[in-house]
Structure 1
Amino acid sequence: MRKNFGAQTWMYPMPVLIVGTYDENGKPDAMNAAWGGIYETNQIMLCLSASHRTTKNIKEKGAFTVSFATAKTVVPSDYVGIVSANNTPDKMEKSGLHAEKSTLVDAPLFQEYPMTLECKLVKFNEDGIVVGEIVNVSADESVLGEDGKIAVEKLEPIAFDSVSHAYHKLGEKVGNAFSDGNQLK
Protein backbone atom coordinates (compact mmCIF):
# COMPACT_ATOMS: atom_id res chain seq x y z
CA MET A 1 0.00 0.00 0.00
CA ARG A 2 1.20 3.52 -0.82
CA LYS A 3 0.84 6.66 1.23
CA ASN A 4 0.18 9.97 -0.54
CA PHE A 5 2.11 13.07 0.57
CA GLY A 6 0.85 15.59 -1.97
CA ALA A 7 3.14 17.85 -3.97
CA GLN A 8 6.57 17.97 -2.33
CA THR A 9 10.11 18.94 -3.36
CA TRP A 10 11.41 15.46 -2.61
CA MET A 11 13.94 13.84 -4.92
CA TYR A 12 16.64 11.23 -4.40
CA PRO A 13 19.53 11.71 -4.56
CA MET A 14 19.68 15.50 -4.34
CA PRO A 15 23.30 16.58 -4.62
CA VAL A 16 24.73 19.11 -2.19
CA LEU A 17 26.29 21.66 -4.51
CA ILE A 18 28.60 24.39 -3.27
CA VAL A 19 28.55 27.36 -5.64
CA GLY A 20 31.66 29.53 -5.57
CA THR A 21 31.82 33.12 -6.81
CA TYR A 22 33.80 36.32 -6.46
CA ASP A 23 32.14 39.63 -5.69
CA GLU A 24 32.97 42.91 -7.43
CA ASN A 25 36.00 43.34 -5.11
CA GLY A 26 37.37 39.83 -5.71
CA LYS A 27 36.18 38.52 -2.34
CA PRO A 28 35.23 34.83 -2.51
CA ASP A 29 31.79 33.57 -1.51
CA ALA A 30 30.24 30.12 -1.33
CA MET A 31 26.66 28.97 -0.99
CA ASN A 32 24.97 25.61 -0.63
CA ALA A 33 22.49 25.02 -3.46
CA ALA A 34 20.45 21.84 -3.30
CA TRP A 35 18.49 22.43 -6.48
CA GLY A 36 20.69 21.84 -9.48
CA GLY A 37 21.89 19.31 -11.98
CA ILE A 38 22.96 18.68 -15.55
CA TYR A 39 21.06 20.88 -18.01
CA GLU A 40 22.44 19.70 -21.33
CA THR A 41 25.73 18.31 -22.63
CA ASN A 42 28.52 20.26 -20.89
CA GLN A 43 26.01 22.48 -19.10
CA ILE A 44 24.78 22.69 -15.51
CA MET A 45 21.71 24.41 -14.10
CA LEU A 46 21.07 25.86 -10.66
CA CYS A 47 17.90 27.32 -9.21
CA LEU A 48 18.92 30.51 -7.39
CA SER A 49 16.74 33.31 -6.10
CA ALA A 50 17.58 36.90 -6.99
CA SER A 51 18.20 37.74 -3.32
CA HIS A 52 21.36 35.59 -3.07
CA ARG A 53 24.74 37.33 -3.13
CA THR A 54 25.84 34.43 -5.33
CA THR A 55 23.25 35.38 -7.97
CA LYS A 56 24.52 38.96 -8.05
CA ASN A 57 28.13 37.74 -8.25
CA ILE A 58 27.41 35.37 -11.15
CA LYS A 59 25.70 38.16 -13.09
CA GLU A 60 28.64 40.52 -12.47
CA LYS A 61 31.48 38.05 -13.15
CA GLY A 62 29.87 35.73 -15.69
CA ALA A 63 31.44 32.73 -13.98
CA PHE A 64 31.08 30.35 -11.04
CA THR A 65 32.31 27.04 -9.71
CA VAL A 66 30.24 24.12 -8.46
CA SER A 67 31.85 21.76 -5.96
CA PHE A 68 30.40 18.60 -4.50
CA ALA A 69 30.04 18.58 -0.73
CA THR A 70 31.55 15.51 0.87
CA ALA A 71 31.28 13.56 4.11
CA LYS A 72 34.36 15.44 5.34
CA THR A 73 32.85 18.86 4.56
CA VAL A 74 29.37 18.55 6.08
CA VAL A 75 29.80 21.35 8.65
CA PRO A 76 31.18 24.10 6.36
CA SER A 77 28.85 22.98 3.55
CA ASP A 78 25.81 23.33 5.78
CA TYR A 79 27.09 26.62 7.21
CA VAL A 80 27.41 28.32 3.81
CA GLY A 81 23.82 27.30 3.13
CA ILE A 82 22.32 28.74 6.31
CA VAL A 83 24.31 31.99 6.46
CA SER A 84 24.12 34.70 3.80
CA ALA A 85 27.03 36.90 2.78
CA ASN A 86 24.42 39.67 2.54
CA ASN A 87 24.15 39.60 6.36
CA THR A 88 27.43 38.04 7.49
CA PRO A 89 30.44 39.81 5.90
CA ASP A 90 32.91 37.36 7.49
CA LYS A 91 30.99 34.28 6.34
CA MET A 92 33.96 32.78 4.50
CA GLU A 93 36.37 33.28 7.39
CA LYS A 94 33.89 31.57 9.73
CA SER A 95 33.34 28.72 7.28
CA GLY A 96 37.01 27.72 7.36
CA LEU A 97 37.03 27.29 3.57
CA HIS A 98 40.14 28.34 1.68
CA ALA A 99 39.77 29.81 -1.82
CA GLU A 100 42.22 29.79 -4.67
CA LYS A 101 41.59 31.34 -8.07
CA SER A 102 40.60 29.12 -10.96
CA THR A 103 42.90 29.54 -13.93
CA LEU A 104 39.98 29.01 -16.34
CA VAL A 105 37.08 31.10 -14.97
CA ASP A 106 36.76 34.16 -12.73
CA ALA A 107 35.59 32.16 -9.73
CA PRO A 108 37.18 30.44 -6.73
CA LEU A 109 38.13 26.83 -6.17
CA PHE A 110 37.89 25.77 -2.53
CA GLN A 111 40.72 23.56 -1.30
CA GLU A 112 38.41 21.53 0.96
CA TYR A 113 36.27 20.29 -1.96
CA PRO A 114 38.12 17.68 -4.02
CA MET A 115 35.89 17.86 -7.13
CA THR A 116 34.76 21.05 -8.83
CA LEU A 117 33.04 22.08 -12.05
CA GLU A 118 34.41 25.35 -13.43
CA CYS A 119 31.66 27.20 -15.30
CA LYS A 120 31.00 30.20 -17.53
CA LEU A 121 27.56 31.78 -17.39
CA VAL A 122 25.41 30.94 -20.40
CA LYS A 123 22.15 32.56 -19.28
CA PHE A 124 19.78 33.40 -16.49
CA ASN A 125 16.22 32.32 -17.22
CA GLU A 126 13.38 34.54 -16.05
CA ASP A 127 12.41 31.96 -13.43
CA GLY A 128 15.76 32.02 -11.58
CA ILE A 129 17.44 29.18 -13.43
CA VAL A 130 21.16 29.76 -13.97
CA VAL A 131 22.71 27.85 -16.85
CA GLY A 132 26.47 27.51 -17.02
CA GLU A 133 28.85 25.93 -19.50
CA ILE A 134 31.18 23.46 -17.82
CA VAL A 135 34.62 24.41 -19.13
CA ASN A 136 36.56 22.09 -16.83
CA VAL A 137 36.16 19.46 -14.15
CA SER A 138 39.04 19.48 -11.69
CA ALA A 139 39.68 16.85 -9.07
CA ASP A 140 42.25 16.39 -6.35
CA GLU A 141 44.40 13.30 -6.88
CA SER A 142 43.22 11.99 -3.49
CA VAL A 143 39.85 11.06 -5.02
CA LEU A 144 41.20 9.34 -8.13
CA GLY A 145 41.14 5.59 -8.57
CA GLU A 146 43.83 3.41 -10.10
CA ASP A 147 42.33 4.14 -13.53
CA GLY A 148 42.97 7.89 -13.05
CA LYS A 149 39.24 8.71 -12.92
CA ILE A 150 37.18 10.03 -10.02
CA ALA A 151 36.36 7.22 -7.59
CA VAL A 152 33.04 7.93 -5.89
CA GLU A 153 34.02 5.85 -2.85
CA LYS A 154 37.03 8.13 -2.33
CA LEU A 155 35.11 11.33 -3.08
CA GLU A 156 32.34 10.43 -0.60
CA PRO A 157 29.80 12.94 -1.98
CA ILE A 158 26.77 13.66 0.15
CA ALA A 159 23.13 13.97 -0.83
CA PHE A 160 20.46 16.08 0.82
CA ASP A 161 17.41 14.23 2.15
CA SER A 162 14.68 16.86 1.91
CA VAL A 163 12.20 14.61 3.73
CA SER A 164 14.19 14.34 6.98
CA HIS A 165 16.55 17.33 6.45
CA ALA A 166 19.62 15.13 6.66
CA TYR A 167 22.77 14.51 4.66
CA HIS A 168 23.72 11.01 3.51
CA LYS A 169 27.02 9.76 2.15
CA LEU A 170 26.96 8.10 -1.28
CA GLY A 171 29.40 5.54 -2.49
CA GLU A 172 28.39 1.88 -2.48
CA LYS A 173 28.31 0.36 -5.95
CA VAL A 174 25.17 -1.67 -6.59
CA GLY A 175 25.32 -2.28 -10.34
CA ASN A 176 26.78 -1.46 -13.74
CA ALA A 177 25.11 1.23 -15.87
CA PHE A 178 24.34 0.42 -19.51
CA SER A 179 25.12 -3.23 -18.78
CA ASP A 180 23.02 -4.90 -16.06
CA GLY A 181 19.76 -4.29 -17.89
CA ASN A 182 21.01 -6.46 -20.76
CA GLN A 183 20.03 -9.47 -18.62
CA LEU A 184 16.40 -8.78 -19.53
CA LYS A 185 16.91 -8.63 -23.31
Structure 2
Amino acid sequence: MYKKLSTRTANRLLCGGQIINISSVSPDGVSDVMTAAWNCPYDADQVLIVLDRGHTTTANILDNGKFVISIPSEDDISVINKVGSAHGRDVGDKFVWAGIESDKSQILGLDVIPNALAYIECELINRDVLDKTGVCLGKAVNIYVKDGLWDDEGSHFGEGMKLTLSYVHEGLYRVNGREVKV
Protein backbone atom coordinates (compact mmCIF):
# COMPACT_ATOMS: atom_id res chain seq x y z
CA MET A 1 0.00 0.00 0.00
CA TYR A 2 1.24 3.50 -0.85
CA LYS A 3 0.08 6.99 0.04
CA LYS A 4 -0.31 9.42 -2.87
CA LEU A 5 1.49 12.75 -2.40
CA SER A 6 1.42 16.04 -4.23
CA THR A 7 4.02 16.34 -6.98
CA ARG A 8 5.13 19.51 -5.18
CA THR A 9 6.75 17.32 -2.50
CA ALA A 10 9.30 15.61 -4.79
CA ASN A 11 12.16 17.69 -3.35
CA ARG A 12 11.36 16.47 0.16
CA LEU A 13 11.69 12.84 -0.91
CA LEU A 14 15.02 13.31 -2.67
CA CYS A 15 16.79 15.09 0.16
CA GLY A 16 16.17 16.81 3.43
CA GLY A 17 17.41 20.04 1.89
CA GLN A 18 20.77 20.72 3.53
CA ILE A 19 20.84 24.34 4.57
CA ILE A 20 23.57 26.59 3.24
CA ASN A 21 24.24 30.29 3.34
CA ILE A 22 25.39 32.06 0.21
CA SER A 23 27.45 35.23 0.55
CA SER A 24 27.93 37.69 -2.29
CA VAL A 25 28.71 41.35 -2.83
CA SER A 26 27.20 44.00 -5.10
CA PRO A 27 29.15 46.17 -7.54
CA ASP A 28 28.86 48.95 -4.93
CA GLY A 29 30.44 46.77 -2.23
CA VAL A 30 27.19 45.99 -0.36
CA SER A 31 27.43 42.56 1.27
CA ASP A 32 24.57 40.10 1.02
CA VAL A 33 23.91 36.68 2.51
CA MET A 34 20.94 34.40 1.99
CA THR A 35 19.78 31.02 3.24
CA ALA A 36 19.04 28.26 0.74
CA ALA A 37 18.13 24.58 0.79
CA TRP A 38 18.29 23.64 -2.88
CA ASN A 39 21.88 22.60 -3.47
CA CYS A 40 23.99 19.59 -4.32
CA PRO A 41 27.41 18.56 -5.63
CA TYR A 42 27.72 18.82 -9.40
CA ASP A 43 31.23 17.39 -9.85
CA ALA A 44 34.21 16.76 -7.57
CA ASP A 45 35.13 20.46 -7.46
CA GLN A 46 31.78 21.95 -8.50
CA VAL A 47 28.52 22.79 -6.73
CA LEU A 48 24.99 23.43 -7.93
CA ILE A 49 22.58 25.75 -6.16
CA VAL A 50 19.16 26.90 -7.31
CA LEU A 51 18.45 30.61 -6.89
CA ASP A 52 15.48 32.81 -7.59
CA ARG A 53 16.46 34.99 -10.54
CA GLY A 54 14.97 38.03 -8.80
CA HIS A 55 17.13 37.77 -5.67
CA THR A 56 19.93 40.16 -4.80
CA THR A 57 22.32 37.21 -4.48
CA THR A 58 21.62 36.17 -8.07
CA ALA A 59 22.24 39.70 -9.37
CA ASN A 60 25.49 39.92 -7.38
CA ILE A 61 26.78 36.59 -8.68
CA LEU A 62 25.83 37.49 -12.24
CA ASP A 63 27.70 40.77 -11.83
CA ASN A 64 31.03 39.54 -10.44
CA GLY A 65 30.92 35.74 -10.68
CA LYS A 66 31.93 35.15 -7.04
CA PHE A 67 30.16 33.67 -4.04
CA VAL A 68 30.84 31.73 -0.87
CA ILE A 69 28.79 28.83 0.42
CA SER A 70 28.91 28.36 4.17
CA ILE A 71 27.50 25.35 5.97
CA PRO A 72 25.82 26.41 9.23
CA SER A 73 25.07 24.32 12.31
CA GLU A 74 22.19 24.11 14.76
CA ASP A 75 23.74 26.99 16.72
CA ASP A 76 23.09 29.24 13.70
CA ILE A 77 19.34 28.63 13.27
CA SER A 78 18.27 32.08 14.49
CA VAL A 79 20.83 33.77 12.21
CA ILE A 80 19.95 31.74 9.12
CA ASN A 81 16.24 32.29 9.72
CA LYS A 82 16.83 36.03 10.01
CA VAL A 83 18.95 36.43 6.86
CA GLY A 84 16.54 34.13 5.03
CA SER A 85 13.55 36.30 5.93
CA ALA A 86 14.46 39.50 4.06
CA HIS A 87 15.71 40.53 0.64
CA GLY A 88 18.95 42.44 0.28
CA ARG A 89 17.20 44.88 -2.05
CA ASP A 90 14.91 45.81 0.86
CA VAL A 91 17.39 45.96 3.76
CA GLY A 92 20.76 46.77 2.19
CA ASP A 93 23.77 45.10 3.78
CA LYS A 94 22.25 42.02 5.41
CA PHE A 95 25.14 41.59 7.83
CA VAL A 96 24.56 45.11 9.19
CA TRP A 97 20.78 44.71 9.11
CA ALA A 98 20.92 41.37 10.99
CA GLY A 99 23.57 42.57 13.45
CA ILE A 100 26.09 39.92 12.36
CA GLU A 101 29.76 40.61 12.83
CA SER A 102 31.05 38.92 9.71
CA ASP A 103 34.30 37.16 8.94
CA LYS A 104 36.05 37.47 5.57
CA SER A 105 36.47 34.45 3.34
CA GLN A 106 40.12 33.46 2.86
CA ILE A 107 40.57 33.93 -0.90
CA LEU A 108 37.66 35.98 -2.28
CA GLY A 109 37.42 38.29 0.76
CA LEU A 110 33.61 38.17 0.91
CA ASP A 111 31.74 38.69 4.17
CA VAL A 112 30.57 35.37 5.63
CA ILE A 113 28.65 34.32 8.73
CA PRO A 114 31.30 33.36 11.31
CA ASN A 115 31.83 29.91 12.83
CA ALA A 116 30.25 27.86 10.04
CA LEU A 117 31.13 24.19 9.84
CA ALA A 118 32.78 24.76 6.46
CA TYR A 119 33.16 27.26 3.62
CA ILE A 120 33.40 26.76 -0.15
CA GLU A 121 34.60 29.80 -2.06
CA CYS A 122 33.34 29.61 -5.64
CA GLU A 123 33.54 31.22 -9.05
CA LEU A 124 30.56 31.08 -11.39
CA ILE A 125 30.98 28.55 -14.19
CA ASN A 126 28.19 29.50 -16.59
CA ARG A 127 26.64 32.95 -16.46
CA ASP A 128 24.02 32.20 -19.15
CA VAL A 129 22.63 29.18 -17.28
CA LEU A 130 22.22 31.22 -14.08
CA ASP A 131 20.70 34.17 -15.92
CA LYS A 132 18.18 32.04 -17.84
CA THR A 133 17.28 29.35 -15.28
CA GLY A 134 18.44 30.31 -11.78
CA VAL A 135 20.74 27.26 -11.69
CA CYS A 136 24.08 28.42 -10.36
CA LEU A 137 27.09 26.21 -11.10
CA GLY A 138 30.17 27.11 -9.11
CA LYS A 139 33.75 25.91 -9.26
CA ALA A 140 35.42 25.65 -5.85
CA VAL A 141 38.53 27.84 -5.62
CA ASN A 142 39.05 27.30 -1.88
CA ILE A 143 37.54 25.08 0.79
CA TYR A 144 38.12 25.16 4.51
CA VAL A 145 36.53 23.12 7.28
CA LYS A 146 36.49 23.47 11.07
CA ASP A 147 39.11 21.36 12.81
CA GLY A 148 37.92 17.87 13.74
CA LEU A 149 35.06 17.72 11.22
CA TRP A 150 36.96 16.30 8.23
CA ASP A 151 38.08 12.67 8.11
CA ASP A 152 41.48 12.77 6.37
CA GLU A 153 41.75 8.99 6.15
CA GLY A 154 38.34 8.54 4.52
CA SER A 155 38.47 11.92 2.77
CA HIS A 156 34.97 12.95 3.77
CA PHE A 157 33.03 15.37 5.97
CA GLY A 158 32.39 12.60 8.53
CA GLU A 159 31.86 14.39 11.83
CA GLY A 160 30.79 17.57 10.04
CA MET A 161 27.91 15.87 8.22
CA LYS A 162 26.41 14.89 11.58
CA LEU A 163 26.10 18.60 12.41
CA THR A 164 24.61 19.93 9.16
CA LEU A 165 21.06 21.20 9.14
CA SER A 166 18.42 19.89 6.77
CA TYR A 167 15.32 21.94 6.08
CA VAL A 168 12.04 20.06 6.39
CA HIS A 169 9.45 22.86 6.29
CA GLU A 170 8.58 26.11 8.07
CA GLY A 171 10.24 26.05 11.47
CA LEU A 172 11.35 22.41 11.30
CA TYR A 173 14.91 21.21 10.69
CA ARG A 174 16.75 17.92 11.09
CA VAL A 175 20.22 17.49 12.57
CA ASN A 176 21.69 13.99 12.42
CA GLY A 177 18.17 12.52 12.19
CA ARG A 178 16.88 14.51 15.19
CA GLU A 179 14.10 17.06 14.61
CA VAL A 180 14.64 20.63 15.76
CA LYS A 181 11.57 22.88 15.89
CA VAL A 182 11.90 26.63 15.89
Q: Same fold (TM over 0.5)?
A: yes
What SS class does the counterpart of residue 82 from structure 1 fall into? coil
1:56, 1:114 → 2: CA distance?
26
Show the counterpart of 2:159: 152
Show the counterpart of 1:10: 12
In the TM superposition, residue 106 of structure 1 has moved relative to its aligned partner by: 5.1
Show the counterpart of 2:141: 135
CA RMSD of aligned residues (A): 2.6
What SS class does the counterpart of residue 7 from structure 2 fall into? coil
More deviation in 90-99 or 145-154?
145-154
In the TM superposition, residue 85 of structure 1 has moved relative to its aligned partner by: 1.0
Instruction: Give deviations 1:86-134, integer Å, cap 9, x for gaps.
Output: 1112532243433233332253333131311110111131211011001
Decide which structure has greater helix share: 2
In the TM superposition, residue 23 of structure 1 has moved relative to its aligned partner by: 1.5
What SS class does the counterpart of residue 86 from structure 1 fall into? helix
CA contact (8 A) 1:153 1:171 kept: no
In the TM superposition, residue 154 of structure 1 has moved relative to its aligned partner by: 8.3
1:90, 1:61 → 2: CA distance?
17
Can you give the 5+ residue segments of structure 2 that lack an aligned partner in the other structure? none
CA contact (8 A) 1:31 1:81 kept: yes
What SS class does the counterpart of residue 78 from structure 2 fall into? helix
1:47 aligns with 2:50: yes
2:162, 2:27 → 1: CA distance?
32
2:111, 2:85 → 1: CA distance?
20
1:22 aligns with 2:25: yes
Distance of aligned partners of 1:98 and 1:152 in 2 relative to their CA distance in 1, 3 Å threshold = farther
Q: Percent identity?
A: 20
For residues 11-90 of structure 1, what are the structure 2 equivalents within 5 Å?
11=13, 12-89=15-92
